[in-house]
Amino acid sequence: MNPTHAAHESPPPTAPARPIGRAAAVVGLQWGDEGKGKVIDLLAGSFDAVVRYNGGANAGHSVVIEGRRHALHLIPSGVFHPRVKGVIGNGVVIDPESLVREIEGVVAAGVGALDLAISDRAHVVMPYHKLEDAAREAALAAQHGPASAIGTTKRGIGPAYADKATRATAVRMGDLLRPALLRDKLARILPAKAAVLRALAPDAPVDLDAERLATDALRLGEKLAPRITDTTYLLHDMLARGGSLLFEGANATLLDVDHGTFPYVTSSNCSVLGIPAGTGVPGSHLSRVIGVMKAYCTRVGGGPFPTELLDERGNRIRERGREYGTTTGRPRRCGWLDLVALRYAVMLNGVTSIALMLLDVLAGFDEICVCTGYRIDGRVTDRFVPDAEVLAHVQPVYERLPGFASEIGSARARADLPRQALDYVRFIEQATGVPVEIVSVGPDRAQTIKGA
Ligand code: GDP
Ligand code: IMO
Ligand code: MG
């Protein structure tokens, strides 16, 4: 029998299932903390799964239900809906200690049996990644001044993604289920890590005990084992059965490592461009992209921020908007809406509708400024410059719009909004060419105006 004949007689390979499902994405259009958690929670009920594709515990997503606030870092924000599956895709970097703590917190909050799947190929944030993150930041500040530090969350994100790219020094979630392999890997990795830490901080004690690190990681792996799986096939199987997926962006477009304000960015592709690589689901499934924006801008950490307000107006926004980090508690820098940056983010993500958040925070300003262009070397442009060096020196060109005096937290329809607030919504729709699908007027689920 020749080989060709043998191949012919064996059963034909199963044809790959034709994808018939649908997928949508929620993505931050600014520098993070736009209110993605609230939007995901609002939408998740009509999807079968909510899927994280990037970032790690640097994300802090708040969901407020009947006055009760929940902060999520690694668990997708859809988990407060029964029957919605949470999936943490391969593109996420997972601190297992933080994840186990978070799972226990969510279960204690009464979510019942949490349905959460974790990619076996997601990379692990090990304790030494967090030490390295902090040591690198301290070294940057000490050597080049505080402004040169990135202002990271110190959650080990950068070093974990760096190890992923380096490959030989990386640990993946699946490795936490293989004791011998993990011990072997750590024996090879730790001397190199110790050398790096010593070089960064010669005076700090370096305590990387291989056995303790392995025992801790394996104990966490055991706890997470029932949830660790091949999420790529899981997602494709769901799509093939007609299921629907909602992708949850962490961090935000202007923090995207390729398209943000480099080097003051995070280490992943936070825009929707990160979805295919971070989940194994091709972009062709995506039919709806909801871009989440604040009515103004905030940024936490270092880096250029053309419309930043360093005066009383910035303080007013910070206090009214409770602009303090969900993950680190740091005060957020506040400023006017930057339409140049916003239009860039809308373009990059192929945004199909906008969720306009925290509009209530702007109540009480006599006038609201919106940046419509950047002046660079005397010339005005409406194009964004994703380069920290250039962006640090642009001068914003402002259009001034009338403010609105009354509080709007109880508005539930566009008709309940004062005329100037409604004009602001329409101004954003016109400037971006995208309908505003959600207007949020307070942190609670109920404080929402739906429909364009
Ligand atoms: P995320 O990282 O994009 O999920 O956003 P965060 O949860 O870090 O930060 C957004 C903050 O604004 C949270 O404290 C939310 O509870 C709150 N928030 C969301 N929408 C609104 C809104 O419309 N008005 C007000 N005042 N607060 C809001
Ligand atoms: P969510 O999902 C706001 C910022 C950090 C820092 C930079 C790099 O809640 O919107 P990293 O720890 O990632 O290496 O820090 O990115 N940053 C965020 N800022 N919201 C976030 O997430 C952020 N995730 C990272 O402050 O400037
Ligand atoms: Mg946040």
Q: What is the pLDDT of residue 16?
A: 52
Q: Is the CB of 255 under 6 A from ligand 2?
A: yes
Whole-number Å distance, alpha carbon 184 to ligand 1 midpoint, is 44
Distance CA 342, CA 337 (A): 8
Distance CA 321, CA 313 (A): 12
CA nearest ligand 2 atom 5, residue: 152
Q: What is the pTM of this model?
A: 0.95
Q: Is 33 a catalytic residue?
A: yes
Which ligand is located closest to the Cα atom of residue 296?
1
Which ligand is located closest to the Cα atom of residue 261?
2
Ligand 1 atom nearest the C-alpha of 252 is 3
* 291 close to 415: Cβ distance less than 8 angstroms: no
Distances (CA, A) of 406 to 253, 369, 409: 32, 18, 9
Whole-number Å distance, alpha carbon 325 to ligand 3 midpoint, is 7
Whole-number Å distance, alpha carbon 265 to ligand 2 midpoint, is 7
Distance CA 31, CA 254 (A): 5
pLDDT in tens, the chain (452 residues): 343 344 444 545 555 554 455 899 999 999 999 999 999 999 999 999 999 999 999 999 999 988 889 999 999 999 999 899 999 999 999 999 999 999 999 998 887 779 999 999 999 999 999 999 999 999 999 989 888 899 999 999 999 999 999 999 999 999 999 999 999 999 999 999 999 999 998 887 788 999 999 999 999 999 999 999 999 999 999 999 999 999 999 999 999 999 999 999 999 999 999 999 999 999 999 999 999 999 999 999 999 999 999 999 999 999 999 999 888 889 999 999 999 999 999 999 999 999 999 999 999 999 999 999 999 999 999 999 999 999 999 999 999 999 999 999 999 999 999 999 999 999 999 999 999 999 999 999 999 999 87
Q: Is the CB of 370 under 6 A from ligand 2?
A: no
Alpha-helical (H) ranges within 288-370 are 312-320, 339-349
CA nearest ligand 1 atom 14, residue: 62
Q: What is the pLDDT of residue 148?
A: 85
Q: Is 144 a catalytic residue?
A: no
Distance CA 18, CA 20 (A): 6
* 367 close to 403: Cβ distance less than 8 angstroms: yes
Strands (DSSP E) contained in 66-153 are: 68-72, 85-88, 93-94, 116-119, 123-124
Which residues are near ligand 1 (CB < 6 Å)? 28, 32-38, 60-62, 64, 321-322, 326, 357-358, 360-361, 440-443
Q: What is the pLDDT of residue 21?
A: 57
Q: What is the pLDDT of residue 78?
A: 92
Q: Is the CB of 250 under 6 A from ligand 2?
A: yes
Distances (CA, A) of 48 to 20, 38, 272, 285, 305: 14, 18, 19, 15, 38
Whole-number Å distance, alpha carbon 150 to ligand 2 midpoint, is 10
Query: Cβ neighbours of residue 154 under 8 Å, at least 6 residues apart?
Result: 130, 133, 134, 137, 328
DSSP state of 147: G
**How many of the other CB atoms lie within 10 Å of CB of 164?**
20
Distance CA 303, CA 151 (A): 9
SS3 313: helix
